[in-house]
Amino acid sequence: MKHSFPFLAAVLLTASAGFAVDATKPAPACCAEAKPAATVAPCCAEMKSGTPLSNRSLYQLDATWTDDAGQPVRLATMRGGPIVLAMFFASCEYACPVIVNDLQRLRAALPADVRGKVRLVLVSFDTARDTPAALRTFRERMSLDAGWSLLRGDAGSVQELAMLLGVKFKQDARGQFAHSNLFTLLNTEGEIAHQHVGLKGDLADVTKATLLAVK
C-alpha cells in the first residue's frame, strides 16, 4: 500500500512549529558538549548535513532512542540509505516474530548488492520491559545480524512515532500488546515511501519500492 501521508500531513499542519527543526532548542543530551570532529557522537551526525530535511521527513523528530548495546541513537543518523522500520515488543508471542520473518524474506528477495544498503529497524513500544538487555536477547533469539537496529525509547517518543506511522497498540492485562501489523519503508531522506500491512503476505510491492528507494 503506497502511502499518501494523510495522517502525517495533518500532524504537520497542526504542530509544524514543534515538529520542524528548531535552531533555538538546546542540542540533544548526547550532543550538549562540544567534541572534536573525530569523536562526535553518532546521534549528532545528522546535524552535519547541509541539505534541509523536508516537512515529511521523520528524521525531523527530536527523540533520542537507545539501542540494544545501550548506545543513544537518533533516527536521522540513518539518513542516506533506505530503512525498513517496524514497531514491536520483544515478548510478543506471535505477530512480532512473524513481522521479523517477513522482513527477513524482504531482505532475501533483494539482490545481493542491494541488501547491505537497506537497514532494518525495530522500535519497541514496551517501554517498561524492553531494556537494552531484553532487546539483545531478542536479537540473539531471532538471529539478527548487524544490519538490524533494535531501539527503545520513552513513552512520549514511542507514542509520537506510532502516531506518525499509523501504528496502533494497546497493552492487555497479561502484558501482551494488541497492535497493528505493518512495516514502513523510509526513503533516504526519512520520508514514508511505502507501507506493507499484514502478515505472511506477498512482498512483491514492497520489494519493488525498496529497490526504487536505493540510490
| Tens digit of each residue's pLDDT (9 = 90 or more) over 150-173 | 999 999 999 999 999 999 999 998
Please, which pLDDT band fits residue 17 given cuts at 50, 70 and 90? very low
| Tens digit of each residue's pLDDT (9 = 90 or more) over 32-73 | 333 333 333 444 444 445 689 999 999 999 999 999 999 999
| Tens digit of each residue's pLDDT (9 = 90 or more) over 189-199 | 999 999 999 99
**Which residue reads 545480524 in cell numbers?**
145
Pairing type for strands 169-171 and 177-179 reads antiparallel
pLDDT over 80 (residue 9): no
CA-CA distance, 71 to 83, in Å (whole number)?
19
Domains and CATH numbers, the chain: 6-14+55-213 (3.40.30.10)
Nearest alpha carbon to residue 200 among 125, 105, 110, 89: 105
Instruction: Give the pLDDT score at 124.
Output: 98
Please, which pLDDT band fits residue 175 given cuts at 50, 70 and 90? confident
Contact 136, 68 (CB under 8 A): yes
What is the secondary structure of 25-68 as a DSSP string?
SPPPGGGSS---GGG--GGGGGGG--SPPPTTBGGG----EEET
Mean pLDDT on 99-117: 97
* β-bridge mates for residue 44, sequence order: none
Mean pLDDT on 92-106: 96
Instruction: Give the pLDDT score at 208.
Output: 97
